[in-house]
Amino acid sequence: MWREIEPDQHYNVEVDGHNLVVYSFGEGDEVLLCLNGGPGLPCDYLRDAHGWLKDKGLRVVAFDQLGTGASDSPEDPSLWDITRYVAEVETVRQALDLGRVHLMGHSWGGWLAIEYAIYHPHELKTLILENTVGDIPHLSQELERLRGALGSETVAMMQRHEAMGTLDHPQYQAAITLLNYRHVCRLDEWPAPVTRSLGDWNMGPYTTMQGPNEFLYVGNLKNWNRLQEMADFTMPVLITTGQHDELTPACAMRMKMALKDAALHVFPNSSHMPFYEEPHAYFPVLLDFLQRHRG
């Protein structure tokens, strides 16, 4: 199943006068272009989970988005904008001459993939939306429900620290840690690619676009909702989520209901990373979908 392997090729792609580093595994015309979550995370955790799919006849391409990993990290907050990131994805696709791709977006990468599909639908063979949402205001409601499971006293404590701006307080951080282990990755030990990505997190894009943590959305995407536009998608879509995902099955179902041609799969023992939490269940679902839509 998944294993860490070295990319077969590294590329440098210029975008907005800055350098992006792109990684490629395998070869051929069936390209799985991976957009990782964050924002502000290097692509290690998604790249290293899926690079082995080159053994299945796929070319797997991932890249460190601007501001992350080995790519340049400018300190200009105006760059942390989803429209600019869409142009970044298209620049990478054209620079590597990838042709029509299977576009996979995980978490924030799913919002980016949806936005890309709105503006570049003819460049996609399929769209794979992993552990993501099409409606962030609805997600915020779901996150309040998940926080509520900690108990009213803990929620009140969290709200007090959020109002005071003391999010680094040990009480608050303890609650966030518990939520992360419930709803981000339920493994007792998180895989090395995950800890590597998290250890190199650029909080600039993250706080500008999303907020201070996974359970508080106050950035420039807090009102983002593309369900209406998704109704016009004609490409086949695969939606995956985990039963315990922070981006909940209810969010996934809203996307499925908005789309014309979508399959939805919920992994019962996973939260936000079924490719690590349930790889033996996840990869057959993904590979079956890709096999049915080759060409």
Residues labelled catalytic: 107, 245, 272
**Distance spanning both ends of the chain, measured CA to CA:** 24
How far from 84 is each of 75, 115, 147, 223, 242, CA to CA, in Å? 15, 11, 32, 18, 29
Neighbours of 156 (CB within 10 A): 10
Residue 144 host element (H or E): helix 136-148
Contact, 66 vs 22, CB < 8 A? no
Closest CA to 78 of 175, 188, 184, 204: 204
Contact, 236 vs 261, CB < 8 A? yes
Residue with the two structure tokens 């879509």? 237
Q: What angle do CA 168, 185, 226 make, to 5 degrees?
A: 85
Q: Report residue 66 as tokens.
A: 């601007």
Distance CA 290, CA 287 (A): 5
How far from 72 is each of 109, 193, 258, CA to CA, in Å? 19, 20, 37
Q: Which residues contact 2 (CB under 8 A, 6 or more apart)?
A: 48, 49, 50, 52, 275, 276, 279, 283
